[in-house]
Chain A
Amino acid sequence: AQTVTQSQPEMSVQEAETVTLSCTYDTSESNYYLFWYKQPPSRQMILVIRQEAYKQQNATENRFSVNFQKAAKSFSLKISDSQLGDTAMYFCAFMSLQGAQKLVFGQGTRLTINP
């Protein structure tokens, strides 16, 4: 079974700084997707960025980028020029292309951006 581990329960940075959230996962599969979701106090899970395992190029969405290291099974999220609105819980998630179509989530990292 796949597992996702986020080793940083909480992080706090100043506005405009850059912050990196860590995520590692375990799988024996070669084709899969990885995701970062953001959950603000409104509770809705919002997709931040998505990476397809067969693509070596790291995904980027505006201020958000990932460092995908397939061999190391590492998938970190970098937030540049952090903003107050980035304050939220961040979840790393895995989905296989085979078998059950389900997201496997990490335990989350609570990120606080301070003014």
Chain B
Amino acid sequence: KAGVTQTPRYLIKTRGQQVTLSCSPISGHRSVSWYQQTPGQGLQFLFEYFSETQRNKGNFPGRFSGRQFSNSRSEMNVSTLELGDSALYLCASSPNRGPNYGYTFGSGTRLTVV
């Protein structure tokens, strides 16, 4: 079966712009989580969505937002981009909430802000 699909794979944006990243989970998976990966801060949790509702949010400014659609696909948006937002953004999906269900990651979107 198809894995977690993240689009686009690469993105270059200018400071001040906004960007939208997409994540299509494995069919039947209802939980989607987002993580930011940078060389300095490592992997940090952004948000978790389940049944179209944000269940948890990490310690990120309000410029970072997201949503989940009825088909479980998720998008995250970053407004007023800063150089420090350059990172690999990873999405993970799971059949349900909780670590016992297992999380499958996508290959990420590499965002570069110039």
User: Measuring CB to CB, which residues of chain A are less than 8 angstroms from any residue of chain B?
Assistant: 32-33, 35, 37, 42-47, 50, 52, 91, 95, 97, 100-108
Are the CB atoms of B56 and A102 closer together than 8 Å?
yes
Could you say which residues of chain B place their CB within 8 Å of the CB of A33? 99-100
Q: Report the separation of the CA atoms of residues A100 and B90 in the bound assembly, to the nearest whole angstrom.
A: 18
In the assembled complex, which residues on chain A have CB atoms less than 8 Å from the CB atom of B56?
A: 100-102
Not counting A47-B104, A102-B48, a sample of 17 additional A-B residue pairs whose C-beta atoms are within 8 angstroms of each other reads A33-B100, A42-B107, A44-B3, A44-B106, A44-B107, A44-B108, A45-B92, A46-B105, A47-B102, A50-B99, A100-B48, A101-B31, A101-B33, A101-B97, A102-B58, A103-B35, A103-B45
Q: Are B100 and A105 in contact (CB under 8 A)?
A: no
Which residues of B (63-114) have their CB < 8 Å from a CB of A? 88, 90, 92, 97-100, 102-108, 110
Q: How many residues of B contact A (CB 8 A)?
A: 26
Q: What are 17 A-B interface contacts by the 8 Å CB criterion?
A: A32-B99, A35-B99, A44-B105, A44-B108, A45-B90, A46-B105, A47-B103, A47-B104, A50-B99, A50-B102, A91-B43, A95-B99, A101-B48, A101-B55, A102-B45, A103-B43, A106-B42
What's the Cα separation between A46 and B90 when bound, in Å?
A: 12
Contact between B100 and A52, CB atoms less than 8 A apart: yes
Give the residue name and chain of the A residue nearest to B35 (CB).
Answer: A103
**CB-defined contacts of B55 to chain A, threshold 8 Å:** 100-101
Nearest CB on A from B66, distance (A): 14
Q: How far is the CB of B10 from chain A (nearest CB, A)?
A: 11
Interface centre among B35, B98, B103 (most CB of A within 10 A): B103
Say how far B55's CB is from chain A's closest CB, in angstroms: 7
List B contacts of A102 (CB < 8 A): 33, 45, 48, 56, 58
